[in-house]
Structure 1
Amino acid sequence: MAGMSTTAPATPLPALFVSHGSPMLALEPGRTGPFFRRLGQTIDTRFGRPKAIVVVSPHTAARLPLVLGSAQHHAVHDFGGFPPALYELQYGPPGAPTLATRVSALLAAAGIAAHPSDEAGLDHGIWAVLRFAWPDADVPVLPVALAPHQPPAAQWALGEALAPLLAEGVLVLGSGSLTHNLQLVFGRRRVDALGAEDGEEMAESRAFRDWVAGRSAARDRDALLAYRTQAPHAALMHPTDEHWLPFYIAAGAGGLAAPGLRLHDAVTYGCLAMDAYAFGAGAQPLAEALAA
């Protein structure tokens, strides 16, 4: 983490969950791109620029958590069928090999099997977000591969293992999607406006998003972990839950001693949520700074 301040923030950083949406977010930011830009600026101002970012995305997945400790990263264009301009975008922040050793030790101490790797590259669920939040690509990034077959409780435990990093000035970020049913998306989107925000939100999407906001604010860990049976329209909003699981890593890292707060409330195509959440002691200060 060369060149980064060694001073810990006075208030621990919040842990964040963000919805990254379509890869076209990078070219057609809608309401969410400006939110990510303001989010990065506000974190820098309120807490100090993060020393590094530990990030989990469903587009980097493995059988067990994999800690990608390369010294340098690049944007991976892990998608097809999009405009040529999207494949020309680059994002190349430094990696965090020293932090990778620390993260591996934290996971091991929690009894979580993880493997180190010197693999480089950031999937679009990572770089499409960070290019707005920290456009200079000067904050070191440490991806941790999601283990998508592990249940919500295991993801929460992984987040809890990473919790000490927040007081050390390291941001823990889960990038996924608060709702993610691509059949609904492709059925509702305008073919000539990929990435545009249009259409009235489905009632089922609104109900699911409001349930998550309510249970997070109420610090209802049990209900959140049991979302498949307790959340309205859970199977419709998440036919598979890999895009939802990073939420639990953020919630576990921040904990629910304080309410989990929704920072951003938006939907594309009427059913693809772009919501963002903050957890932990830093959640309320961040929400207040964003609202100022």
Structure 2
Amino acid sequence: MTTRTPTLFLSHGAPTLPIDPSLPSGGFTTLAQHLPRPKSVLMLSAHWNTLKPVVSTAERPETIHDFYGFPRALYEIQYPAPGAPETAQRAAALLRAQGVSVDEEGHGLDHGAWVPMLLMFPDADVPVAQLSIQPHADAAHHFALGRALRELRDEGVMVIGSGQITHNLRAADFSARPEDADPRVAEFTDWFEARLAARDIDALLDYRNQAPHAVLMHPTDEHLLPVFAALGAADDDYTLGVQSLGTYQRALAMTNYVFGSAVQ
């Protein structure tokens, strides 16, 4: 029987996730221990935004420290995982077969990619490529990207969307405790999880109109768009796994989703 990789959506949190003991970095390690080891990863991060889809064919992607004002230790972290140019080119071919115009370049790993990869695969021995997101486009566009990439899962590639299930930095309070979470965060995430469990794709794609507090949770939705790519790449009858790691800074829910397959 063919082993088909699951697809994932990860809430990658603040860049300090690997070095701040108050943040739930251990949850990502635990998650990886319950997943099959992929041949490679195709990562769609909220932090690589382009007008049209671009794949990174870098053989040795650099570790991009795309943030400012954090502790020096964070800037000293390097994640020297090999690139996955063949995976990137295969993804580009699948997208082009669906009429999607795709560019290729040697992009490095932004923190939306290397932070969760560092925690899940700390030996940096899983090749990783990136596919950019298009923040001017909608959820349906990213769902279609994921749908075009489904075949990768039969080839040992794990498609991972990395963003944040709730992301409103203006509403964040960086001194808040997890128990100080805005109750509207749970109302949004409960709705989203219920729709995921019901496989209600139409409602999910229309989340900005249907989900409670959607615009408050995502004033702009680049941190949620990767979930739709992961969802598109999943099976129609996926099994949903939910890893809730709490809410931090009052407004940032750390919830990860696994879209599993009945095919083993």
Cα distance in 2 for residues equivalent to 1:242 and 1:33? 22
- Match of residue 281 from structure 1: 261
> Is 1:11 aligned with 2:16?
no
- Match of residue 131 from structure 2: 144
How far 1:98 sits from its partner (Å)?
1.6
How far 1:259 sits from its partner (Å)?
4.1
RMSD: 1.8
> Is 1:198 aligned with 2:178?
yes
> TM-score, with normalisation over the residues of structure 2?
0.95
> Is 1:189 aligned with 2:174?
yes
The structure with more strand, counted as a fraction of residues: 2
> TM-score, with normalisation over the residues of structure 1?
0.86
SS in 2 for 1:126: helix
SS in 2 for 1:67: strand
Cα distance in 1 for residues equivalent to 2:75 and 2:90? 33
Cα separation, partners in 2 of 1:215 and 1:133, compared to 1, 3 Å: same
- Match of residue 105 from structure 1: 93
SS in 1 for 2:188: helix
Letter aligned with residue 217 of structure 1: A
1:247 to 218, 227, 236: 227
Cα distance in 2 for residues equivalent to 1:64 and 1:238? 22
Q: How many residues align?
A: 264
Cα distance in 1 for residues equivalent to 2:25 and 2:3? 26
- Match of residue 83 from structure 1: 71
- Match of residue 193 from structure 1: none
1:214 to 191, 194, 209: 194
1:70 to 37, 58, 74: 58
> Is 1:162 aligned with 2:149?
yes
How far 1:258 sits from its partner (Å)?
2.5
Q: Which runs of 5+ in 1 are unaligned?
A: 1-8, 191-195, 286-292
Encode CA deviations 1:44-76: one digit per residue, 9 max, x unaligned: xxx3x2110000111111100100001111211
Letter aligned with residue 209 of structure 1: T
How far 1:225 sits from its partner (Å)?
0.3
- Match of residue 34 from structure 2: 42
Encode CA deviations 1:15-72: one digit per residue, 9 max, x unaligned: 00000111011211545311111122222xxx3x211000011111110010000111
Cα distance in 1 for residues equivalent to 2:210 and 2:67? 33
Letter aligned with residue 120 of structure 2: A
How far 1:282 sits from its partner (Å)?
5.8
